[in-house]
A = this chain, B = another copy of it.
Amino acid sequence: MLRGIIRGHIVSTRKQESLVGSKFMEVEIMKNGELTGEFIIAVDSVGAGIGETVLITTGSSARLALRNTNAPCDAVIVGIVD
């Protein structure tokens, strides 16, 4: 998994029906507690907000965190780091 800080929220009105209701967050990836300048867009599944440090799961495993496990999504925020 990846750790990162939520930097923003991306709005997409025209999208796949199975993604309606998904909140797309842009997350800056950290390594060993330091920011990297690399970013990923992930769907929130835990009620995380901008500025929070989160854990992200990528790939096909990410979908298991969504209510609709058939949504075409490859990255999900699965936890908030204390």
List chain A positions with a Cβ less than 8 A from chain B.
Answer: 1-3, 7-8, 10-16, 18-19, 24, 26, 28, 31-32, 37-43, 45-47, 55, 57-65, 70-76, 78-82
Number of this chain's copies in the complex: 5
The answer to whether A31 touches B42, judged by C-beta atoms less than 8 angstroms apart, is no
Least distance between A49 CB and chain B CB atoms (Å): 11
- The residues of B that contact A3 with a CB separation of less than 8 Å are 10, 26, 41
Given contacts A10-B55, A14-B47, A64-B71, 10 further A-B contacts (CB under 8 A): A1-B42, A1-B73, A1-B74, A8-B32, A11-B82, A12-B81, A15-B79, A19-B78, A41-B55, A61-B63
Whole-angstrom CA separation of A39 from B35 in the bound complex: 12
